[in-house]
């Protein structure tokens, strides 16, 4: 357990002292915690609306009181500063309350997505040595309480399962209703702005989960700067449309940016136009963020005919995966908004097109770094900078980009340069005007509509299937999702060819997130041989990706 005076977490990689000093001197790291931000807002404008969803609406004073009350109750349960707590909640008001309660306490939320299943949560809880999990009961026909019980059974450090329940729901055996922990707020030991505030998950990872430790100081800087760029103020109503635990809706500028600006956070339980459009009208939403497939859905819906009144919506952000220029061009006119492209990563760096950029920049680039203190370079595979404007690997360091993963030296060796710059894994070019154009990923990930799937992880899973001799996962282009998951499978017995349904059933039964399910299975008797006769999976993937592209263009040609 941590000493109360210990400012950081063992396993956290700090910034080099000279850079840290510079970021403090420049007041980028301003020395405030998220708890202090909320307290300041609650004191300045207690009656202003902070949070609204379909069931709740809380003022700043109410949110602050609820968070402190819950923090006091959780302290009584024995959760202390520095402990890690898995949070797996859908987009509902209680998410914000729970996270701020943990911030008050100095305990670290570990942000899990509602789509995560035991195959993800068990390693995450293990790597974080989490002591508690806060989740809900049944939501969208899935029993999260049961999932939490499964995870607890497998992770020895997990002592508590706490549930945010709806009317009439009862906690499962061994779990507690979070309402039991709403105590009269008491003073809690102070937290420090240099403390790690939470653990975020890296998109697409294999083996030991890559956990991202962000401090109050560094994250709050990114939130402040994002809120400035997105021109948030107390009239802002930010709609959390994507799963709110993700870095994009959390902080770019997201719910934290809206609260920082004294605006309102609205949450929608589901991102489809049928649910979200009426909520935009009802709550007077001014800004939200989407991944490209959802942006396409919203645009098509708006182009198709009358919608609820969306006139309050001024800015629509699109990010998480590459937005095709063709779609980017349609979004503004269809929805009556200013489009903003956002290219970011949970590890840090976030790039934005600016709200007053010319339309050509907004539709055809992924923007430029948010901070003048972000340092970026585009290098070849040997780490040498490429010619200006040429494509290469994007590396970066800066005031809100991590220097290493949490307690994971192996991943650090791959993902950081010798001087601590983060290797983003993205292939980009930088235009003369400073804006970045993202060409793709260097690694073997499929980016399925913003959800990153590691080819290696899914291949390892398929290889457990008795009917599969070998498997290679590639991303195939898809007009809606950007990429879909194609599994090339060599059958163990050529007479028994695995079907898509069988493969999906198998993957589902391994308890992994639904977005990792292959969209297509191509059974092949042999994989193409690689040029030099070695079995480089990377080259195999490339060869199969080429052949998959050939297949899909052939299909298009037939149509
Ligand atoms: C966001 O964060 P992550 O950690 O889920 O994924 C980061 C990766 C990037 O390295 C890149 O490969 C891809 O997602 N990506 C984009 C993109 N935005 C993210 N690729 C092309 N164009 C874009 N606009 O996805 C994330 C975090 C904060 C803000 C926005 C997105």
Pick from 112, 319, 328 the residue to mutate for probing ligand 1's pocket: most ligand atoms within 8 Å of its CB.
319
pLDDT of residue 553: 42
Task: Please return the burial class of 161, using the count of CB atoms within 10 Å of its CB with bins 0-12, 13-18 and 19+.
Answer: buried
Q: Which residues line ligand 1 (CB under 6 A)?
A: 203, 247-248, 252, 319-322, 341-346, 350, 366, 424-426, 438, 441, 450, 452
* Centroid of ligand 1 to alpha carbon of 238 (angstroms): 20
Nearest CA to 240 out of 294, 165, 305, 163 is that of 294
Pick from 209, 288, 340, 345 the residue to mutate for probing ligand 1's pocket: most ligand atoms within 8 Å of its CB.
345
Mean pLDDT, rounded, for 21-31: 98
3 pLDDT tier (thresholds 50, 70, 90): very low
532 pLDDT tier (thresholds 50, 70, 90): low
d(CA 469, CA 493): 8
Domains and CATH numbers, the chain: 17-430 (3.40.50.12780), 451-558 (3.30.300.30)
Q: What is the pLDDT of residues 364-420, one digit of tens each?
A: 999 999 999 999 999 998 999 999 999 999 999 999 999 999 999 999 999 999 999
pLDDT of residue 2: 41
138 pLDDT more than 60: yes
* Centroid of ligand 1 to alpha carbon of 192 (angstroms): 29
pLDDT of residue 1: 40
Measured by CA distance, the residue closest to atom 3 of ligand 1 is 345
* Centroid of ligand 1 to alpha carbon of 20 (angstroms): 25
3-class DSSP state of 286: coil
d(CA 451, CA 517): 12
Pairing of strands 315-319, 84-87: unpaired
Most confident of 174-188, 206-220, 463-477: 174-188
Spatial strand order in the sheet of 436-441: 375-379, 392-397, 422-430, 436-441
Provide the token pair at 186.
Answer: 């008491």
54 pLDDT more than 80: yes
The rounded percent of the chain whose pLDDT value lies above 70 is 94
Provide the angle, in degrees to the nearest 10, between the axes of the packed helices 455-462 and 537-558.
Answer: 90
259 touches 287 (CB < 8 A): no
278 pLDDT more than 90: yes
d(CA 319, CA 397): 21
243 touches 91 (CB < 8 A): yes
Phi, psi torsion values for 196, nearest 5 degrees: -70, 130
**H helix runs in 156-272, sequence order:** 216-229, 247-251, 254-260
550 pLDDT more than 80: no
274 pLDDT tier (thresholds 50, 70, 90): very high
541 pLDDT more than 80: no
* Centroid of ligand 1 to alpha carbon of 424 (angstroms): 10
* Centroid of ligand 1 to alpha carbon of 531 (angstroms): 33
476 pLDDT tier (thresholds 50, 70, 90): confident
Ligand 1 atom, smallest distance to 319 CA:
24
534 pLDDT more than 50: no
Ligand 1 atom, smallest distance to 200 CA:
4
Mean pLDDT, rounded, for 170-187: 95
Ligand 1 atom, smallest distance to 347 CA:
4
pTM for this structure? 0.90
pLDDT of residue 206: 56
96 pLDDT tier (thresholds 50, 70, 90): very high
29 touches 15 (CB < 8 A): no
DSSP class of 15? P
d(CA 38, CA 61): 9
Measured by CA distance, the residue closest to atom 7 of ligand 1 is 345
pLDDT of residue 9: 86
pLDDT of residue 234: 98
89 touches 135 (CB < 8 A): yes
Residues 339-353: b if buried by 16+ CB within 10 A, e if exposed? bbbbbbbbbbbbbbb
559 pLDDT more than 60: no
Pairing of strands 287-290, 264-267: unpaired
310 pLDDT more than 50: yes
177 pLDDT tier (thresholds 50, 70, 90): very high
Measured by CA distance, the residue closest to atom 8 of ligand 1 is 345
Asked if omega into 345 is within 30° of 0 (cis), the reply is no
Q: Report CA torsion sign: 321, 322, 324, 329.
A: positive
Name the average pLDDT for the chain: 92
* Centroid of ligand 1 to alpha carbon of 71 (angstroms): 32
Nearest CA to 51 out of 256, 289, 242 is that of 256
pLDDT of residue 556: 35
Most confident of 4-8, 150-154, 205-209, 490-494: 150-154
pLDDT of residue 4: 41
* Centroid of ligand 1 to alpha carbon of 551 (angstroms): 28
Most confident of 113-122, 251-260, 464-473: 251-260
Mean pLDDT, rounded, for 4-24: 84
The rounded percent of the chain whose pLDDT value lies above 90 is 79
Residues linked to residue 177 through DSSP beta bridges, in sequence order: 163
* Centroid of ligand 1 to alpha carbon of 478 (angstroms): 18
Task: Please return the burial class of 151, using the count of CB atoms within 10 Å of its CB with bins 0-12, 13-18 and 19+.
Answer: buried
């Amino acid at each position: 357990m941590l000493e109360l005076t210990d400012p950081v977490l063992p396993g956290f990689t700090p910034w080099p002292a000279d850079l840290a000093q510079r970021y403090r001197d420049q007041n980028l790291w301003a020395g405030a915690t998220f708890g202090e931000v909320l307290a300041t807002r609650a004191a300045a404008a207690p009656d202003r609306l902070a949070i609204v969803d379909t069931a709740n609406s809380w003022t700043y004073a109410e949110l602050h009181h609820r968070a402190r009350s819950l923090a006091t109750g959780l302290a009584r349960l024995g959760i202390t500063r520095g402990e890690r707590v898995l949070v797996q909640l859908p987009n509902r008001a209680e998410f914000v309350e729970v996270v701020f309660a943990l911030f008050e306490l100095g305990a670290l939320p570990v942000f899990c997505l509602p789509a995560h299943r035991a195959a993800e949560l068990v390693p995450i809880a293990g790597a974080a040595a989490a002591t508690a999990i806060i989740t809900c009961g049944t939501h969208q026909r899935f029993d999260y309480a049961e999932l939490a019980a499964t995870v607890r059974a497998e992770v020895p450090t997990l002592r508590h399962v706490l549930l945010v329940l709806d009317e009439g729901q009862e906690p499962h055996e061994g779990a507690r209703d979070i309402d039991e922990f709403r105590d009269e707020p008491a003073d809690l030991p102070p937290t420090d702005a240099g403390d790690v505030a939470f653990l975020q998950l890296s998109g697409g990872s294999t083996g030991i989960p890559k956990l991202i430790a962000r401090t109050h100081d560094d994250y709050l800087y990114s939130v402040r700067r994002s809120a400035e760029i997105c021109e948030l103020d107390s009239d802002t109503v930010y709609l959390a449309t994507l799963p709110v635990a993700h870095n994009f809706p959390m902080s770019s500028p997201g719910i934290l940016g809206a609260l920082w600006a004294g605006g309102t956070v609205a949450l929608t339980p589901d991102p489809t136009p049928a649910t979200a459009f009426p909520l935009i009208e009802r709550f007077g939403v001014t800004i939200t963020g989407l991944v490209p497939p959802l942006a396409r859905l919203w645009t098509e819906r708006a182009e198709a005919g009358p919608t609820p009144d969306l006139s309050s919506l001024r800015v629509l952000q699109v990010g998480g995966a590459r937005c095709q220029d063709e779609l980017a061009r349609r979004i503004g006119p269809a929805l009556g908004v200013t489009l903003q492209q956002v290219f970011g990563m949970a590890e840090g760096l976030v790039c934005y097109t600016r709200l007053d950029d010319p339309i050509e920049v907004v539709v055809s680039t992924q923007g430029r770094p948010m901070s003048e203190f972000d340092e970026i370079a585009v290098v070849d595979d040997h780490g040498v900078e490429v010619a200006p404007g040429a494509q290469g690997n994007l590396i970066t360091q800066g005031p809100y980009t991590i220097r290493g993963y949490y307690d994971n030296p192996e991943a650090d060796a791959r993902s950081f340069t010798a001087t601590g710059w983060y290797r983003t894994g993205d292939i980009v070019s930088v235009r003369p005007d400073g804006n970045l154009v993202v060409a793709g990923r260097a690694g073997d990930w499929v980016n399925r509509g913003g959800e990153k799937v590691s080819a290696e992880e899914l291949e390892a899973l398929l290889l457990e299937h008795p009917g599969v001799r070998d498997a290679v996962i590639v991303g195939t282009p898809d007009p809606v999702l950007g990429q879909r998951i194609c599994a090339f499978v060599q059958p163990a017995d050529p007479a028994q060819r695995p079907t898509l349904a069988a493969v999906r059933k198998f993957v589902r039964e391994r308890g992994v997130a639904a977005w990792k399910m292959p969209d297509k299975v191509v059974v092949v008797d042999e994989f193409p041989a690689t040029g030099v006769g070695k079995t480089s999976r990377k080259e195999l993937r490339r060869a199969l990706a080429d052949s998959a592209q050939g297949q899909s263009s052939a299909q298009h040609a037939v149509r």
